[in-house]
């Protein structure tokens, strides 16, 4: 009997608010990726991976004192 109500079904992906939210999320992610602190963290992570791949054991990354906990 649900089909007899005459309700219009709108898919979520076609709703303007959903499209706008996805666009904002994508733009925020891209901006975070371009931020200088993000670039430095990726470089540090890559360095740790390279050192670990070279056979080093017990490699730890110490945070700087200027970063929040």
| Cα separation, 31 vs 49, whole angstroms | 25
Tokens at 41, concatenated: 């963290």
Q: What pLDDT is stored for residue 28 in this prediction?
A: 94
Q: What pLDDT is stored for residue 68 in this prediction?
A: 60
Q: What pLDDT is stored for residue 2 in this prediction?
A: 54
Q: Residue-wise pLDDT tens for the chain (69 aa)?
A: 555 678 888 788 888 999 999 999 999 999 988 888 887 787 888 887 777 666 655 656 676 666 665
Q: Judge whether 52 and 59 are in contact, CB under 8 Å.
A: yes
Rounded to two decimals, the pTM is 0.45
Q: Where are the domains of the chain?
A: 13-51
């Amino acid at each position: 009997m649900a089909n007899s109500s005459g309700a219009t079904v709108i898919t979520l992906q076609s709703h303007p608010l959903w499209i706008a939210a996805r666009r904002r999320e994508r733009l925020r992610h891209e901006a975070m990726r371009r931020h200088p602190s993000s670039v430095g963290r990726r470089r540090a992570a890559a360095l740790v991976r390279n050192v670990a791949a070279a056979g080093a054991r017990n490699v730890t990354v110490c945070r700087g004192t200027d970063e929040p906990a």
